[in-house]
Amino acid sequence: MIIAIDGPAAAGKGTLAQNLAKHFKYAFLDTGRLYRAVGYAVLQAGKDPSDKTEATKAAKAFDPKSINQILSNPALREEATGNAASKVAVIPSVREVLLQLQRDFAEHPFFEDGTPAKGAVLDGRDIGTVVCPKADVKFFVTASAEVRTDRRFKELKDAGKPADYDVILKDIKERDERDSKRATAPLKPAEDAYVLDTSNMNATQAYQAALDFIAINHA
């Protein structure tokens, strides 16, 4: 069983994906983290994330066995890393390397301690369209740019980090634009995806709506 969750930045995909994974006891992969890890590695090397050669080299350097350790780096959550991620994500050779990693995970999902799982929840931008086009359930989670900015702003404030509303809104709009307009695997709902607009929902309501959808359509 594979549940694919796509959508723009800060729409609530990650929380929904983790809640569903916990509920069904499936393994979870935040695929954005893979792109973030590549962007981060390029930044750490002092190079430009838009540099095709550097970004591809960083993607190829991943050892799938130490993926959990790589993806748990807290620096991957930073806004600057997210922006670098959306730059490396435009490069087809980077996507190609990461595509294989994601498909391998979907085919043989495993928990953080390495034990195999009977299902997987993957969240990202192109899971329902490219990575797992045959996923059993597909959600496209979205919300207005302003609502997403409010959420990110509050998250940063709550974590005691500096937050500037206008900077976050600009960053979210830039990323939406880059993710939706790129030639390879652009952000868009799969034809058979259930679109969940969370602009007027909290995380619990979005989770409940997703569970209801699964109960009705995949009983």
Q: Which residues bind ligand C5P (CB under 6 A)?
A: 9, 31-32, 35-36, 82, 85-86, 89, 124-127, 175, 179
Q: How far is the CB of 67 from ligand C5P (least distance, A)?
A: 15
Q: Which is nearer to ligand C5P, 141 or 209 (CB)?
A: 141
* Rounded Cα distance, 157 and 87, in Å: 26
Q: What is the DSSP-derived secondary structure letter of residue 77?
A: G
Q: Which is nearer to ligand C5P, 57 or 95 (CB)?
A: 95
Q: How far is the CB of 213 from ligand C5P (least distance, A)?
A: 21
Beta bridge partners of 121: 3, 28
Q: How far is the CB of 60 from ligand C5P (least distance, A)?
A: 17
Residues in the chain: 219
Q: How far is the CB of 183 from ligand C5P (least distance, A)?
A: 12
* Rounded Cα distance, 198 and 191, in Å: 19
Query: For residues 32 and 122, is the Cβ–Cβ distance under 8 A?
Result: no
Q: Which is nearer to ligand C5P, 174 or 212 (CB)?
A: 174
Q: Which residues contact 189 (CB under 8 A, 6 or more apart)?
A: 6, 128, 140, 195
Q: Which is nearer to ligand C5P, 187 or 214 (CB)?
A: 187
